[in-house]
């Protein structure tokens, strides 16, 4: 749920007011920290570094049907896991009852739905959605709970349901009347429901009035249909089922277990195929799932996220292991292993594909990167620059400009200020940057400090509920534990921006520990930390967040603003990188990548496979457990129904532009639904979104309507900066990845711009998957390709240095290497210099001329070569091959073909022990740098590799064909990487 003129850069390190008089500040900080600890103790608060939280509740606490404010484990049995109870899950309503105080609301697990009652656990397989609403601005669909049968125990009359256990995507409801018990294990993606029963016969009772057909009755297995849905009930070996009308019972042969599975059949499924499916499922009927767990791995080099979903099973009889799993679209689209059955289940999330006999399955997804902010590649002079400067200056007095003092609106204000700080830093406006950073630091420090007598702007930790609540609360963030990821994502993102410029503030001894508590509260990434539930807001199997803490609705749980959920995930990535915490970074990348895939299917249905026939919209404002709705909690305006899944607009929301055609279609639907030619509400959000699909059109819209009123978390400075630069960059290009999380690629008119940011204190080089390398100094954002630009300031306070925009259209940037230590250096990474040497340090960008081939074919034979040499090299050969990236430009010459040869003299005796000649590279007749790399492949190789001991390496570059010279980039423009160390 949600509401949702430039000052010259300083030539000295940034020194905001709080960093002046360093000695005095350090002493004052030390004294302040001591006093904070003492004051916190008096206030009933716990210190966390220099910050603190209170342990005395200043406001309302979570509440439900029972006295949950003091006993959240009221409906938890003694067998359940220790630690904080889960909330914000698909099954939360039976743990935290808000309306039906005995049994909770329906639970939608996909493909099955469940509802507890006095006689047992009701089961539903809904295949016919209800689609309601017509016309503009309305519409929703639901696969409603329609009970097919109740699985229970003869004589059971349980007064309430409790929770006997849970794992990452399963739960075990428990029903007892003292004489009879039923324990079930159900889970997301499980076609099976597993039961343990005592005190009577197992009983399956079809719903009153249902059409029931028993199609297989043989020993311990019973095949039956209820209203056309095919099920199989499995009793232990040696047991039988008795059929009496629409009620089936079994003594279970003196044992206590049975299971029921729904089959992925349709009315057109043949009897033979149905029987074959029943036989296939039977193999796993008595191998119940006892636990589930997710693990994930981010491969930085490949920019992929590998997620493994594991099932623990317990074979009660037979030798089979594994279970049956129904995969959601965001999973089967990225499945790395296993072959699904041809049959699929119907669900509110589209078709579910089935794996049998699995103990685990794995998905692999591409992570496309995030940015602190869109780079300022557009012209830094002229009228637009003056306009941006004026917009920035207008924010200097109040960068946060929040509308309320609660956690949500404070967060929105912090997010607003963070965007201003990033833009001002890029453009060299240090006064606005410092004002925004000062406002962020002041507000965060205030909220992260619990002082005596303070009842607002602080956080309270409740050890019973395992949660951190900010007061003043809003939108049920206190009594219902709603929206914590929405609210706290803004805080964490703003802290990540502040950490770049004031790393001391962000360290664990100061306020970093409080940021970490906010992260752990919303989505605890550490399984061993029982203070908070593991990944509270994130539904591991569904692939996205849930906003409601209790989930007590007839339609299950819900989430409105998927984009604010992604804001939290992006915040973790930015904070983790800025503070060097890879566990936080990787948790953010896992949730971000997974949720982006889920949003694509469930909020936007870009593949047109999820929404049922009759639902006419291209997206939903809210996803429910059993469907979706073109609506919000707060507005019926199409601009806000669709727009709530677009804000906030940040460098972490580029996923919204992964499909530019969908952006354009979604924008047009909003106008059609609103009956307008321009958005009447949140026009800035919509123009920013439109820019991801058509930047030029969005910029024209903004220029024509620049008197708009900004959305509460936005500013005209950010809106103009975003649109203006996207109009230059083009649209997101997901076809190229990078080995850095802070990266992106854009394309316009076939020309790519590569963007990489570095928020750490160490220089780096980012390698893109198409071979482009971009060198990124500490604290900078750098682009290469169609636009070559650099801006930003180093971490810890170095002020930005403006960089003039070069005229060339591409600029390969090699990896930084240590300075040479002898001869021309013993570095395996070398750079060609204009003086003909290869050096271990990248010099300034320059160029030399490679002579024409004079119209003769010199393929394979150097002709008038330009030569670069390194001597005195002491390096050991490692397995691999020579790599190079040479910047070449034939300008307007047609049919030139530069060629390279790399030679190794292992001992410096004048004999070339190995010579590698590479195929020539056909240049284009367009002015601008191109990349000639080792990917061209070798045309010939002689000799063998050997260690270099006072060795020599030589590179010759010549034109193999052509009638004109070619320009070759030197210094940092070109690089040679030897397979040596």
Q: Residues with catalytic annotation?
A: 483, 560, 564
Encoding tokens for residue 636? 């019926």
Q: How far apart are CA 72 and CA 739, in angstroms?
A: 44
Q: For residue 607, what is the DSSP state?
A: T
Cross-sheet strand order for the sheet of 113-117: 107-108, 113-117, 120-124, 149-153, 202-206, 247-250, 242-244
CA distances from 636 to 62, 537, 672 (A): 29, 26, 14
CB 290 within 8 A of CB 316: no
Tell me the helix, strand and coil percentages in the chain, rounded to 5. Answer: 25, 30, 50
Q: How far is CA 584 from the centre of its chain?
A: 12
Q: Which helix (H) or strand (E) holds 577?
A: helix 562-579
CB 159 within 8 A of CB 183: no
- Give the number of other CB atoms < 10 A from CB of residue 155: 13
Which residue, 3, 957, 855, is CA-closest to 406?
A: 3
- Give the number of other CB atoms < 10 A from CB of residue 850: 24
Q: How far apart are CA 616 and CA 281, in angstroms?
A: 37
Alpha-helical segments (H) within 19-161:
22-42, 92-95
- Give the number of other CB atoms < 10 A from CB of residue 582: 13
Q: How far apart are CA 482 and CA 465, in angstroms?
A: 13
Which residue in the block uniquely carries the two structure tokens 């395992």?
Answer: 466
Q: List CB contacts of 648: < 8 A, sequence separation 6 or more.
A: 412, 415, 419, 490, 563, 564, 567, 713, 714
CB 596 within 8 A of CB 679: no
Q: How far apart are CA 323 and CA 186, in angstroms?
A: 13
CB 345 within 8 A of CB 324: no
Quote the Cα angle for 541-739-657, to 5°. Answer: 60
Q: How far apart are CA 309 and CA 554, in angstroms?
A: 28
Which residue in the block uniquely carries the two structure tokens 């500040």?
Answer: 25
Q: Residue 905 burial by CB count (10 A; 0-12/13-18/19+): exposed, middle or buried? A: buried
CB 820 within 8 A of CB 839: yes
Residues in the chain: 981
Angle formed by the axes of helices 383-393 and 407-426, nearest 10°: 140
Which residue, 294, 188, 350, 186, is CA-closest to 594?
A: 294
Helices (H) and strands (E) in the chain, counts: 17, 51
3-state secondary structure 914-934: EEEEECCCCCCCCCCCEEEEH
Regarding beta strands 627-629 and 140-142, do their DSSP bridges make them parallel or antiparallel, or are they unpaired? antiparallel
Q: How far apart are CA 6 and CA 801, in angstroms?
A: 14
Q: Which helix (H) or strand (E) holds 573?
A: helix 562-579
- Give the number of other CB atoms < 10 A from CB of residue 887: 26
Q: How far apart are CA 427 and CA 436, in angstroms?
A: 14
Q: How far apart are CA 16 and CA 610, in angstroms?
A: 52
Regarding beta strands 558-559 and 120-124, do their DSSP bridges make them parallel or antiparallel, or are they unpaired? unpaired
Q: How far apart are CA 210 and CA 874, in angstroms?
A: 83
């Amino acid at each position: 749920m949600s509401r949702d003129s430039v000052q010259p850069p300083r030539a000295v390190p940034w020194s905001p007011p709080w960093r002046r008089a360093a000695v005095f500040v350090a002493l004052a900080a030390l004294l302040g920290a001591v006093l904070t600890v003492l004051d916190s103790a008096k206030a009933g608060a716990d210190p966390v570094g220099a910050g603190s939280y209170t342990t005395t509740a200043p406001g309302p606490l979570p509440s439900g049907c029972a006295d949950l404010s003091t006993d959240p484990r009221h409906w938890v049995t003694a067998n359940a896991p220790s630690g904080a109870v889960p909330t914000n899950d698909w099954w939360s309503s039976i743990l935290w009852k808000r309306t039906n105080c005995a049994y909770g609301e329906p639970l939608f697990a996909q493909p099955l739905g469940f509802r507890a009652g006095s006689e047992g656990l009701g089961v539903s397989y809904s295949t016919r959605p209800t689609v309601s609403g017509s016309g503009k601005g309305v519409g929703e669909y639901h696969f409603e709970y329609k009970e097919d049968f109740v699985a229970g125990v003869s004589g059971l009359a349980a007064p309430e349901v409790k929770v006997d256990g849970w794992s990452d995507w399963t739960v075990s409801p428990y029903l007892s009347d003292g004489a009879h018990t039923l324990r079930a294990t159900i889970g997301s993606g499980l076609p099976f429901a597993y039961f343990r029963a005592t005190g009577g016969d197992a009983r399956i009772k079809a719903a009153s009035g249902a059409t029931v057909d028993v199609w297989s009755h043989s020993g311990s297995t019973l095949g039956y249909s209820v209203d056309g849905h095919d099920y199989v009930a499995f009793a232990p070996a040696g047991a039988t089922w008795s059929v009496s009308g629409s009620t089936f019972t079994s003594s279970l042969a003196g044992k206590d277990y049975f299971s029921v599975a729904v089959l992925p059949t349709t009315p057109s499924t043949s009897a033979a195929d149905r029987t074959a499916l029943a036989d296939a499922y039977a193999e796993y009927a008595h191998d119940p799932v006892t636990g589930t767990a997710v693990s994930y791995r981010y491969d930085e080099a490949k920019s992929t996220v590998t997620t493994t979903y594991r099932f623990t099973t317990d074979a009660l009889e037979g030798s089979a292991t594994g279970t049956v799993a129904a995969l959601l679209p965001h999973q089967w689209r990225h499945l790395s292993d296993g072959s699904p059955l041809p049959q699929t289940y119907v669900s509110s999330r589209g078709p579910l594909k089935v794996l049998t006999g699995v103990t685990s399955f794995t998905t692999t997804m591409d992570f496309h990167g995030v940015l602190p902010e869109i780079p300022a590649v557009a012209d830094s002079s002229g009228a637009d620059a003056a306009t941006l400067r004026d917009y920035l200056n207008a924010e200097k007095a109040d960068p946060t400009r929040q509308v309320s003092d609660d956690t949500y609106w404070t967060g929105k204000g912090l997010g607003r200020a963070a965007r201003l700080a990033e833009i001002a830093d890029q453009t060299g406006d240090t006064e606005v940057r410092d004002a925004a950073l000062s406002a962020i630091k002041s507000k965060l420090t205030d909220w992260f400090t619990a002082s005596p007598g303070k009842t607002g702007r602080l956080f309270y930790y409740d050890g019973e509920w395992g949660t951190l609540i900010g007061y003043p609360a809003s939108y049920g963030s206190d009594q219902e534990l709603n929206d914590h990821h929405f609210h706290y994502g803004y805080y964490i993102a703003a802290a990540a921006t502040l950490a770049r410029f004031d790393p001391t503030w962000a360290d664990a001894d100061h306020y970093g520990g409080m940021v970490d508590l906010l992260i752990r509260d919303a989505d605890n990434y550490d399984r061993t930390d029982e203070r908070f539930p593991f990944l509270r807001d994130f539904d591991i199997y569904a692939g996205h967040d849930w906003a409601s803490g209790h989930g007590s609705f007839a339609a299950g749980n819900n989430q409105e603003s998927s984009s604010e959920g992604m804001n939290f995930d992006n915040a973790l990535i930015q904070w983790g990188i800025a503070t060097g915490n890879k566990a936080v970074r990787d948790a953010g990348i896992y949730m971000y990548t997974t949720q982006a895939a889920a949003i694509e299917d469930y909020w936007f249905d870009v593949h047109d496979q999820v929404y049922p026939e009759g639902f006419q919209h291209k997206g939903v404002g809210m996803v429910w457990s059993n469907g979706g709705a073109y609506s919000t909690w707060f507005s019926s305006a199409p601009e806000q129904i669709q727009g709530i899944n677009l804000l906030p607009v940040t460098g972490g929301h580029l996923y919204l532009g992964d499909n530019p055609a969908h952006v354009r279609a979604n924008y047009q639907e909003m106008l059609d639904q609103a009956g307008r030619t321009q958005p009447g509400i949140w026009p800035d959000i919509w123009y920013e979104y439109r820019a991801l699909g058509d930047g030029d059109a969005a910029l024209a819209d903004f220029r024509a309507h620049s008197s708009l009123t900004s959305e509460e978390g936005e500013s005209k400075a950010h809106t103009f900066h975003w649109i203006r630069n996207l109009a230059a960059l083009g649209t997101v290009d997901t076809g190229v990845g990078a080995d850095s999380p802070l990266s992106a690629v854009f394309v316009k008119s076939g020309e790519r711009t590569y963007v990489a940011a570095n928020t750490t204190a160490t220089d780096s080089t980012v390698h893109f998957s198409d071979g482009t390398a971009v060198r990124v100094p500490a604290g900078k954002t750098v682009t290469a390709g169609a636009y070559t630009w650099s801006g930003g300031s180093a971490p810890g306070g170095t002020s930005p240095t403006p960089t003039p925009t070069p005229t060339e259209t591409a600029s390969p940037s090699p990896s930084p290497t240590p300075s040479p230590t002898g001869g021309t250096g013993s570095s395996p990474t070398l750079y060609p210099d204009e003086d003909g040497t290869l050096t271990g340090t990248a010099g300034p960008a320059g160029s030399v001329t490679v002579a024409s081939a004079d119209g003769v074919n010199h393929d394979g034979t150097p002709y008038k070569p330009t030569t670069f040499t390194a001597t005195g090299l002491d390096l050991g050969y490692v397995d691999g091959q020579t790599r190079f990236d040479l910047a070449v430009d034939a300008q307007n010459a047609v049919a030139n073909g530069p060629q390279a040869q790399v030679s190794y003299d292992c001992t410096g005796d004048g004999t070339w022990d190995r010579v590698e000649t590479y195929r020539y590279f056909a240049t284009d007749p367009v002015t601008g740098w191109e990349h000639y790399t080792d990917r061209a492949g070798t045309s010939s190789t002689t000799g063998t590799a050997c260690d270099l001991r006072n060795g020599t390496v030589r590179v010759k570059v010549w034109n193999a064909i052509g009638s004109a010279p070619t320009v070759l980039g030197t210094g940092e423009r070109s690089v040679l990487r030897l397979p040596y160390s």
